[in-house]
Structure 1
Amino acid sequence: MDGQLIAFTGIAAGLVAMPGADFTVVVRNALVSRRAGAVCGLGIASGLLVHTALAVAGVAAVLVAVPALFHALQLLGGGYVLQLGVRTLWSLRRPAAVPGGVQAAAVPDEVPAEVARPLRQGFVTNVLNPKASLTFLSLLPQFVPSGSPALPRTLLLALIVCTLALVWFQAVALLVDRLGRWLRRPRAARGLQAGTGVALTALGAALLIEPLLT
């Protein structure tokens, strides 16, 4: 592996692991089950694949050239993340007994253990973040050696990003699952659910407010 790939891998790992809506929505789903969290992480990796493909195709450059389109995507993404946060907080109002003595409020009942919903939530949360496309548009070209074919190298960089996302969010889902017995205790679970709800709500509100101030 050459020096540029090593440097890119380090930078990409930092970007993937940076706390944000992706991390929070994986934790939210992992509270339901390890499978739900893992599938949500797969959805996020799929969203990153879309962003890298858009960067390769030059679509991300259009977002820079057309501020209205960029702002519209920000509003869509912010609205989606905001409603996830509000729904998570709203579910705290309805505690109910479930097998094993854990309250239903400890696990958001809006996020079933099926595959489709966590996959969709991970994908939509990530793909509606236009800043990811702009990040890759500015980052990827810096690691394509001058004179070498751009497409194969860019595809390799995209594969590295998606692999890092898969590994990281699977690890997050596993950690939450391993701590599940403690995290699903009524007091701890409600506290964590409230924390993820507040985080998602704040992130969604920030995404909504930012385009209105620019």
Structure 2
Amino acid sequence: MDAQLVAFTGVAAGMVAMPGADFTVVVRNALVSRRAGVACALGIAGGLLLHTALAVAGVAAVLTAVPALFRTLQLLGGAYVLYLGLRTLRSLGRPRGVVPDGVDPGPGEAGAGQERPRASAAGEEGPGARPLRQGFVTNALNPKAPITFLSLLPQFVPAGSPAMPRTLLLALIVVVLALLWFPAVALLVDRLGRWLRGPWAARAVEGVTGGALTVLGLVLVLEPLRS
């Protein structure tokens, strides 16, 4: 058994499962439908795949060498998370049963009296496309992720061994963990949806997730401005 590999898996699992913008966005979408939650989770895994690929290629080093680029990406990522949070809070004033912008309930998942998604015209996005994009953009616009991977991955490459194959394996572990964790969160939230989608519970969860996204977005936006 490779002790370093086991240790890295534990560290990576903690990083992936740590509550943050990714987790909150998945919960927000899963409250609308299972399909939206899983699509958002897959988008986050795609963002992690992008970050790990950049780290393996060494491109993330550019973010360390060019602070202005790092701060610009921080501002973009924070602004997007802030936008999602404010839009979630705005949806609190929407009558129950109206699907929030950017998420699509799956077939048969809208209850009685709820608005059904309109049929997509040719060339328009299909159901799940927006949650998928939300998950990807939320994760991909986090500039701290490639820096984290760039500093973490080399710690688990044994001395004298080829760096590229080992780093690729470590990156693959991170993506697999994300593919297990975030869809599991989406499915659990959907399973509890009978209670979480009740009028009062739904508003409470929307308020908490919207508030969390808004605070996270403000922190991400203000941090580069203060530095």
TM-score of the pair, normalised by structure 2: 0.88
Q: Summarize the alignment of residues 1-214 of structure 1 with structure 2, pairs less than 5 Å apart.
A: 1-95=1-95, 103-104=96-97, 108-113=100-105, 114-214=127-227
Answer yes or no: is the 8 Å Cα contact 2:33–2:104 preserved in 1: no
Q: Which runs of 4+ in 1 moved over 4 A?
A: none
* CA-to-aligned-CA distance 1:35-59 (integer Å, 9 cap, x gap): 1111111111111111111111111
Aligned residues: percent identity? 76
Task: Give the Cα–Cα distance (whole angstroms) in 2 for the partners of residues 185 and 94 of structure 1.
Answer: 14
Q: For structure 2, list consecutive stretches of 5 or more residues without a partner in the other structure.
A: 106-126
What is the distance in 2 between the residues matched to 1:2 and 1:141? Answer: 16
Q: In the aligned structure 2, how far is the partner of 1:108 from the partner of 1:87? A: 9
Q: CA deviation at 1:109?
A: 4.0
Gaps of 5+ in 1: 96-102
Deviations along 1:142-183, whole A, 9 cap, x unmatched?
Answer: 111111111111111111000101111111011101100000
* Alignment deviations for residues 71-116 of structure 1 (CA, whole Å, 9 cap, x no partner): 0000000000000001111111121xxxxxxx226x5344223121
Matched residues in 2 for 1:59 and 1:110: separation? 32
Aligned residues: 206
Query: Pairwise CA RMSD of aligned residues?
Result: 1.0
- More helix by percentage: 1
Helix, strand or coil for the counterpart of 2:103? coil
Farther-moved stretch of structure 1 (148-157 vs 6-15)? 148-157
Q: Secondary structure of 2:100's partner?
A: coil
- Matched to 1:81, the amino acid is V
- Confirm or deny: 8 A CA contact 1:87 1:110 kept in the other structure: no
SS of corresponding position for 2:159: coil
Worse overlay, 110-119 or 190-199:
110-119
